[in-house]
Amino acid sequence: MPEPEPAPYRVGQGVDVHALRPGRPLVLGGVAIPSERGLAGHSDADVLAHAVCDALLGAAGLGDLGTHFPSSDPRWAGSPSEVFLRHAARLLAEAGWQVANVDATVCCQAPRLGPFVERMRSNLARALSITPGQVRVAPKSTDGLGFAGRGEGIAALAVCLLTRG
């Protein structure tokens, strides 16, 4: 019996969390944000870009960020996450997928991210070769609750819709 045609669309979700540490830059959505602490990680630790990558790769059935950019590989030490986003976009195109939209939430008590949202949207869109209108970034405080509320780390969640190219 032949395999059925794949659906003309796919939904993916991604989540990433990193701890905040002194002496590290804080980068979210490719934007350097003034802060005394940044996210700890092997690359630039951009939780927003990482969650978006995982959502895209997952929707297309192409693995996850760790599959393509393992933290055990020294080539990716300190890498800007734009590299990961561009790689994911290439893989999607090669597999015949197009990004219809990305919707992401960043959970962070401080610093306030509102002034940086438009730049984050533009950076993510540019890396994925889509328009900023196809990207939503929503910063959310946690009202002092949990690790994000205590300022111990930042989490990001992303969902995406892919369509057949």
User: Each residue of 8-47: pLDDT tens digit?
Assistant: 999 999 999 999 999 999 999 999 999 999 999 988 999 9
Domain range for 62 is 9-164
- The strand pair at 97-107 and 135-140 is best described as parallel
Domain count, the chain: 1
Has residue 79 been placed in a domain? yes
- Among candidate residues 113, 103, 49, the one with its CA nearest the CA of residue 81: 49
Q: Is the dihedral of CA 70, 73, 78, 81 positive or negative?
A: negative
Other beta carbons within 10 angstroms of residue 100's beta carbon come to 14
pLDDT band at residue 4 using 50, 70 and 90 as cut-offs: confident
- Whether residue 123 contacts residue 28, with contact meaning beta carbons closer than 8 Å, is answered with no
The reply to whether 153 falls in a domain is: yes
CATH code for the domain in which residue 31 is found: 3.30.1330.50
Q: Is residue 4 part of a domain?
A: no
CA 162 to CA 137: how far, in whole Å?
18
In a domain, 3, yes or no: no
Within a domain: 37: yes
Residue 1: inside a domain, yes or no? Answer: no
Q: What is the pLDDT of residues 61-116, one digit of tens each?
A: 999 988 888 888 878 777 889 999 999 999 999 999 999 999 999 999 999 999 99
Is residue 62 one of the residues assigned to a domain?
yes
138 domain residue, yes or no: yes
